[in-house]
Every structure is written in C-alpha cells, then in structure tokens.
Amino acid sequence: MPPTDEEVGMSNSARHVIGALIGLIITPLVAGALLYGAQKLGFGIRLSAYTGRAGGSDKWVGAALLILVAAVLGVSAGSRLSPLASLVPGVAFASVGVLWVLAPNWAAENTVRDFAPDRFTVGYMTLASYGGFLVIGVLLIVASLAPSRWTASTAGAAPRFGGPPPAPLGPSPGRPMSAPMGGQMAPPPLLGAPPGHAAPPPGAPGRPPQDQPWQPPSGPYGHPAHPAQPAPGAPGAPGAPGSSPSPFAPPPAQSPKPSSPQGGSGEGVGEWTQMYGGDDLRGEGKDRS
C-alpha cells in the first residue's frame, strides 16, 4: 500500500531536519580540517622545495586531512541525504569567500584574529586570498539545488523510464478457466473453432470417438483373450477398406466336414468313393460275389 500524503510529508520533514543537523555539525569540522590540512601541506611543500629534502610528515598529514575533507563534502552532496546537509556548509563557505572579494582589507583585519587561531592562520589566509572558500561554497550550493533532492521517494511510485506494467496473472481473455483441484479440467478448444468455444466433454453429442485404451495380453502366447474392438472408422478396424489383417489375429475357424448320409454303410469307405458312386460300386461287388 503506497504511503499517504501526510506520511510522505512527515518523512520528508524529518529528512530535512536531519540534513540540517548534519550540515551544522560538519561545517566547523570541515573548516578546521581544511585550514589545518592546508597549512600542514603548504609548510611541508615549501620546506621540501627550499631545502631539497622530503619535507617530513607534515605534507602527508596535510594531504590526508584534505582528502578526508573532500570525502565528507562529497557524501554530503549526494542524493541520499537532504540538500540541507550540503547547503548549510555551502552558504557558510561562500559567505566567507564573498566577504574576501568585496572587502579584503576589513576581512584581513577582523576575521583573522577572531575566527582563525594561530595554527590555522596560514591556511586561512591562503584559502581566503586565493578564492578557495568561494569555490567550495558555490559548489555545495549548486549541488543542493537539484529538485530531486528536495522530494522524498514514495514506495508506490511508477516504474522508472516509463517501463511497461507487469503482465496480469491468470488465463487470457476469451479462454475458459480450469476447474478447481479435484474437478474435471476443461477440454482444449477444437481446431478451427471460434475463440471462447471449448470442445464438448467425452461422451457428449458432437464429441469425436476416441481410441480404446490399450489392454495387456492375458491369453496364451501373448494373444489377448478378448481383443478390444476399435471404434468404427479407425485405421486398424478389421473389415475396413484398405486395412490389412493383423499379424497377431487368431486363425479363422474351419467349417465341419459333411457327414455321410448313411450311418453304417459308409464305414471304411473313403471320401472319393462317397462322392462318386460308392453305393453302386459296392452293389456291383455284391452281385459278382
């Protein structure tokens, strides 16, 4: 659920209050580290240039302090913090820089003794006279003017760069939904049927016949005891036009042999005699005997 306007306003106000407190805390700390680091670095570089020696540890201490100041100011100017975290020190440094541009004599007589202790005097005079405070102050003020830093991001915001919305879940429009768990699933639509019309369930009028399920063999030598009869019109139906007999079909039953018309007279007489006048031949034999 996206936050309401009141919640967004309260979170944005708290964010700016925290940013202002951060700005008030880091302004004197950054100013002290900046002045002391500039003085140490300048002293070490001048000593190394005049004497030809390495300059001792002063220049390394000064360089480390200046790097720390740059890192802190870079974090305060980031988009994650309130713009007040960079606006407060920016206004302070820019004011000192503008003062040295407009009234350098008054600034040198009144601000050096009051605001800069002895260990910070050289660094303060160096940065102020060369416009260091003015450059740092204007940079922080410009970084604080971005409109995106003054508004709080909401949780239910639209996707960035106008991305497409996510695809909806569920079946596409025009298709029947599946039955719940334990019920019968809806059959797929027939080929060529209009959208939204599904095939009738098995056994309903208009449903094409389906092939019989396969039955395991139970007779001798792997022959089924009762072979399943395929549906009419199936490719393997016996007697259908163009179908060949199955190699596993049992042989056709033979018709019984015709019995002799006379029960006792045909005993011991072959089939040829019965078909072509066996009685006449037996009668002639009796007469001759």
Domain positions in the chain: 5-150
Q: Which two tokens stand for residue 122?
A: 């050289």
Judge if pTM exceeds 0.85.
no
Confidence of residue 80 (pLDDT cuts 50, 70, 90): confident
| Least confident piece of the model among 61-70, 124-133, 161-170 | 161-170
Q: Residue 85 pLDDT more than 80?
A: yes
Q: How many CB atoms lie within 10 A of CB 113?
A: 11
Q: Which two tokens stand for residue 56?
A: 């001792």
Q: How far apart are CA 45 and CA 158, in angstroms?
A: 54
Q: Which two tokens stand for residue 164?
A: 């497409």
Q: Residue 24 pLDDT more than 80?
A: yes
Confidence of residue 87 (pLDDT cuts 50, 70, 90): very high
Q: How far apart are CA 188 and CA 191, in angstroms?
A: 9
56 touches 47 (CB < 8 A): yes
